[in-house]
Structure 1
Amino acid sequence: MPELQQLFSRHCKYIIYIIAIYVLGWGFTSYKSIFLGLILGTVVSLFNHWNLVRKTTAFGEAASSGKKFRSFGTLVRMCSAILAVMIAGTYPNVFNLISVIIGIMTAHAVIMIDFVLNQIFKSHKKREER
């Protein structure tokens, strides 16, 4: 599963860049609650992505060795997202709820954009080889 680790490393780098942009937005704009919500949601999104990659790697190792595998940790990922929403609901003056929800979806957006860009670059590379 080295490809999975490479993908996760690239996704992690992109998400950390996004969080850095959000931190700059929090520091230099008057939209503090929006950017704090985006930061909270994106951190939870990164945690969920990391957890899924870790569980997928463990599943691959269990499948190759013929062992049983319990779960992919769906409940943990759901609970972390619910916890982030609960934090935003408890402190609405600090975290914007809509921003937290958008932040939770950040890893999914990064994965889709990365996939599309890789497909475009692969097709462009194939054309150049001809």
Structure 2
Amino acid sequence: MSDYNVMIARQRKWMLYLLAILLIGAIFLPYPRVLLGLLLGTMASFYNLWMLQKKIVDFTEAVANQSSTRGIGMVSRFAAAILAVIVALRFEEYFHIIAVLIGLMTSYVVIMIDVMVFRKKD
């Protein structure tokens, strides 16, 4: 398995752990609205991370095969983020909107932490 595939698997695993922690926190802690907002935003962020990684693999294969290339799915990732915000606004009693926006950024935080931790090992 290439280094990129290992990195992809590691980042997805960290995001799934974070989702599990947020779900458990939403069930047991006294701040369910905030934690459900973080959970919703992180789920959209995880989808965006998965979609970006998939599109990058497709893009690099297309470049390697010298075939026509498509974009990296910016519109679909924006649509997922907008959908999460719309759900949070529609169901304000369950989701905290600021927490959803913070949750949307979690995949980028996971990517930065992954780069910092595993670049120091090299």
Give ranges in structure 1 of 5+ residues lacking alignment: 123-130
Partner of 1:56: 56
Which TM-score applies when normalising by structure 2?
A: 0.95
TM-score, normalized by length of structure 1? 0.89
Give the paired residue count. Answer: 122
Deviation (angstroms), 1:110: 0.4
> 1:101: Cα distance to partner?
0.7
What secondary structure is seen at the aligned counterpart in 1 of 2:13?
Answer: helix
Secondary structure of 1:66's aligned partner: coil
Identity among equivalent pairs (%): 36
The aligned runs of 1:67-106 (5 Å cut-off) are 67-106=67-106
Give the residue type in structure 2 aligned to 1:36.
L
CA distance in 2 between counterparts of 1:82 and 1:2 reads 33
Aligned to 2:20: 20
Q: 1-side partners of 2:121 and 2:2: how far apart?
A: 20
1:47 paired with 2:47, answer: yes
Q: Which residue of 2 aligns with 1:33?
A: 33
Query: What letter is aligned with 1:75?
Result: V
Separation in 2, partners of 1:14, 1:7: 11
**What is the CA-CA distance between 1:120 and the residue it aligns to?**
2.1
The code of the aligned residue for 2:92 comes to P
Secondary structure at the aligned position of 2:71 is classed as: coil
Equivalent residues of 1:4, 1:53 under 8 A apart: no
| Pairwise CA RMSD | 1.2
Q: CA deviation at 1:2?
A: 2.8
Partner of 1:6: 6
Amino acid at match of 1:86: I
Work out whether 1:66 is the aligned partner of 2:66: yes
1:6 & 1:90 partners in 2: Cα distance? 38
Deviation at 1:20, TM superposition (A): 1.1
Q: Higher Cα Rg: structure 1 or 2?
A: 1
The answer for unaligned runs of 5 or more in structure 2 is none
Between the aligned partners of 1:65 and 1:121, the Cα distance in structure 2 is 32
Runs of 4+ in 1 over 3 A off after TM superposition: none
